[in-house]
Amino acid sequence: MLSVISLDLTTSNTLGLAATASHLVRYQFPEQLVDLLALVSQYQNVLVLGGGSNVILPAVLDGLVIKVESRGIRLLEETETHFIVEAQAGEIWHDFVDHCISCGWWGLENLALIPGTVGAAPVQNIGAYGIELDQRFHSLVACNLSTGQTVEMSAQQCEFSYRTSYFKQQPPGQWLILSVRFSLPRQWSPVLAYPDLQRHPVLVTAGNTINARQVFDAVCDIRRSKLPDPAVLGNAGSFFKNPVVSAQTYQGLLADWPALVAYPQAGGMYKLAAGWLIDQAGWKGKRMGPVGVHDRQALVLVNHGGATANDIHQLAHAIQDDVQQRFGVKLEQEPVNS
């Protein structure tokens, strides 16, 4: 039986915004799905909430909030080349990565310490330090809350691209991801393309004997040195996507800004470092009332205490306008407005 409750969500979103759900239900077991679908039909607005790491919550959430708290990890299949591992959507992402490494299922270590849940990871197509989720993705099981139909979806059907997916393009509350499956290689080799990893002392010392646990620990160490802990200083991680521009735009910017940080992409495009643009515009460490830009990472907006969604939006828009005027580049926010 599902119980609908009222719940303060201030500690259920990593930005630490004061928010209340007047109607919330906890989804914890697959057996609850039938009752959940019957409940959803009674509400006009539905929000699916995982770890609250990629959302900007209003003060009051109208409609029904589904808090995903399902748990379970299992080895679904072994092939000659891969381990197929399935996790329930409510599993904490970082804990899931840690568990996989402990079991010898390697390949997700570069994605360590990313906040949120397993079910939210494909929505954003999370990525870090040279690995995108879609590179390790096998399939997922999701329920269309409008039709009640449960389907299995491949990577192609999920329409993954940089920090987005099919699910992110759909109306809020349309889909409930139930479980996600990953294809992890038996023949593992470290992905160390990023300079931070190449310079990390543990990995330098390990040389040719690097293992997945060492990469995991190095990624955690690097992230902790650069990014604030949401439990201490509210934030949603990287707030803006790294913009992708044409070669012509890149060359024009490079002429004016020789130190421009950019990475070549397929098709002759270039991915610009949004944090560098924001830093050059003078926003790093700047504060607007209860919100501001982190003093060590310009890509992170922080809540110094008592902030509202409107405070976050005002700061984000100010940064976007400034970067647009200075560089002619439009920044797109990552977190979803709920």
Half-sphere exposure of 170 (CA within 13 A, CB side): 19
Contacts with 81 (C-beta within 8 Å, 6 or more apart), sequence order: 185, 186, 187
**Average pLDDT, integer, range 202-224:** 95
Q: What is the pLDDT of residue 172?
A: 86
Strands (E) in 186-299, as ranges, are: 234-238, 244-245, 262-264, 270-272, 287-288, 291-293
Length of the chain: 338
Q: Identity (one letter) of the amino acid at 173?
A: G
CATH number of the structural domain 73-189 = 3.30.465.10
pLDDT of residue 21: 96
Q: Are 60 and 24 contacting, i.e. CB atoms less than 8 angstroms apart? A: no
SS3 199: helix
Question: What's the confidence (pLDDT) of residue 218?
Answer: 98
CATH 3.90.78.10 residue ranges in the chain? 234-337
- CATH number (3.40.50.280, 3.40.50.80, 3.30.43.10, 2.170.150.70) of 5-68 reads 3.30.43.10
- pLDDT over threshold 80, residue 1: no
For residue 298, pLDDT beyond 90:
yes
Task: Please compute, for residue 218, the number of CA atoms within 13 A of its CA located in the half-sphere on the CB side.
Answer: 26
Residue tagged active-site, from 70, 139, 238, 338: 238
Average the pLDDT over 98-110 and give the result. 98
∠ at Cα 36 (30, 37), nearest 5°? 110
Q: What is the mean pLDDT of residues 244-266?
A: 95
Whether 215 has a pLDDT exceeding 90, the answer reads yes
Q: Which of 86, 91, 109, 334 is catalytic?
A: 334
- Is 163 part of the annotated catalytic residue set? yes
The DSSP code sequence of 143-165 is: EETTT--EEEEEHHHHT-BTTB-
Task: Name the band, by pLDDT with cuts 50, 70 and 90, for residue 266.
Answer: confident
Mean pLDDT of 205-221: 96
User: Where does the chain hold its CATH 3.30.43.10 domain(s)?
Assistant: 5-68
Cα–Cα dist 155/135, whole Å? 9
Catalytic, out of 163, 183, 223, 338: 163
The string of pLDDT tens digits covering residues 125-143 is 999 999 999 999 999 999 9
Q: Calculate mean pLDDT across residues 97-103.
A: 98
Q: Is 69 noted as a catalytic residue in this protein?
A: no
* pLDDT band of 121, cuts 50, 70, 90: very high
**What's the rounded mean pLDDT across residues 254-274?**
95
Is residue 295 within 8 A of residue 284, CB to CB? The reply is: yes
Task: Confirm if 84 and 75 have CB atoms less than 8 A apart.
Answer: yes
Report the pLDDT averaged over residues 86-103: 98
| pLDDT band for position 166 (cuts 50, 70, 90) | very high
CATH of domain 234-337: 3.90.78.10
Residues 196, 129 contacting (CB under 8 angstroms): yes
User: In the prediction, which pLDDT does 329 show?
Assistant: 97
- Please return the burial class of 52, using the count of CB atoms within 10 Å of its CB with bins 0-12, 13-18 and 19+: buried
